[in-house]
């Protein structure tokens, strides 16, 4: 069976994420406790409780990445994914890189920790936020962003989630000015997102440069599984890894374009690995006839085994 494995990004984390695996799967629990003991993150609080650290980009990214990575480890012990395609949404790209063998687990946490630190610092220098535009025309949204930037209000597209759901990023004044002109896009609603900065925009330019330099220190290996990269929706070329990961900080995530690419090459089964079901719901809207599973519990994994 040809399938795609999807890894969610920051913002997908929920209180109690991973607790069902911890309570009912001894192998998962042992691995979870080993990581917690080694890196001193108090993972139980971070993942299972209402932990204020999850408001901090650095901890939100580490917690989400660790959970997605442990769940996919569990899946790969039971199901052969070597012929699958991996696709991460923003932060989710790092769990995909780990699961495919590009990074070791230690290097995964080094990279994600540094990414969160750099993004948090860049957000302090260039404060801003992000918002979801629901029901708007993508071309009209782009045109409004272009117009507002010329008027001195910085705002740009950050994520192409659906043709009818676009995420924008920018300064707070830019987002507010976009809201005032929302009717120009034919959008139904604009919802501010609970993020701490203007991610996936050129306002992260300082972070991009520093992160690309840092990545040169990290050893990487050829992927065992095909990964589609956010920067262009094409399979990973290892020599372009640093460039693609750094580029992603300042440019849009092309999610729905990547899903359509997977559909066009014959994939009709999509497995979301990690907290929540945000990506699964997006795929259901894009491909109503697709088989979509979100793996958040041991029972979800058992049903997946039956499917595969």
Residues involved in catalysis: 90, 200
Residue 26's Cβ-side half-sphere holds a number of Cα atoms within 13 Å equal to 0
Backbone phi, then psi, for 118, in 5-degree steps? -65, -40
Distance CA 82, CA 37 (A): 31
Dig out the tokens for 35 from the structure: 């990581």
DSSP 3-state helix, strand, coil percentages of the chain (rounded to 5)? Answer: 55, 15, 30
Q: Are 57 and 119 in contact (CB under 8 A)?
A: yes
Strands 129-134, 165-170: parallel, antiparallel or unpaired by DSSP?
antiparallel
For residue 64, give the nearest of 273, 295, 223 by alpha carbon: 273
Question: Which residues have CB under 8 Å from 270's CB, separation 6+?
Answer: 3, 4, 5, 6, 259, 262, 279, 280, 283, 287, 290, 291, 292, 293
Q: Which of 8, 17, 117 shows the shortest CA–CA distance to 57?
A: 117
Measured CA to CA, the distance from residue 294 to residue 308 in angstroms comes to: 14
CB atoms within 10 A of CB 270: 26
Q: Do residues 262 and 228 make contact, with C-beta atoms less than 8 angstroms apart? A: yes
Number of residues that make up the chain: 308
Cα separation, 63 vs 70, whole angstroms: 11
């Amino acid at each position: 069976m040809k399938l795609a494995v999807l890894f969610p990004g920051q913002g997908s984390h929920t209180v109690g994420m991973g607790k069902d695996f911890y309570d009912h799967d001894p192998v998962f629990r042992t691995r979870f406790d080993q990581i917690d003991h080694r890196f001193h993150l108090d993972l139980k609080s971070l993942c299972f409780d209402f932990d204020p650290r999850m408001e901090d980009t650095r901890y939100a990214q580490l917690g989400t990445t660790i959970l997605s990575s442990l769940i996919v480890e569990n899946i790969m012990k039971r199901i052969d994914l070597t012929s699958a395609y991996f696709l991460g949404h923003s932060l989710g790209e790092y769990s995909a890189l780990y699961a495919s063998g590009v990074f070791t687990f230690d290097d995964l946490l080094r990279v994600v920790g540094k990414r969160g630190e750099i993004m948090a610092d860049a957000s302090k220098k260039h404060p801003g936020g992000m918002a979801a535009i629901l029901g708007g025309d993508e071309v009209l949204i782009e045109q409004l962003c272009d117009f507002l930037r010329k008027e001195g209000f910085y705002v740009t597209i950050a994520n192409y989630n659906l043709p009818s759901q676009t995420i924008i990023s920018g300064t707070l004044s830019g987002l507010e000015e976009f809201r005032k002109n929302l009717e120009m896009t034919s959008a139904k609603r604009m919802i501010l997102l609970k993020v701490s900065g203007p991610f996936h925009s050129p306002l992260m330019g300082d972070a991009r440069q520093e992160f690309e330099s840092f990545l040169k220190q990290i050893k990487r290996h050829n992927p065992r599984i095909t990964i589609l990269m956010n920067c262009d929706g094409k399979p990973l070329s290892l020599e372009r890894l640093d460039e693609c990961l750094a580029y992603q900080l300042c440019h849009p995530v092309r999610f729905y374009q990547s899903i359509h690419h997977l559909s066009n090459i014959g994939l009709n089964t999509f497995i979301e690995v990690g907290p929540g079901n945000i990506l699964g719901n997006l795929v259901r809207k894009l491909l109503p006839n697709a088989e979509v599973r979100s793996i958040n519990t041991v029972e979800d994994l058992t049903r997946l085994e039956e499917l595969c």
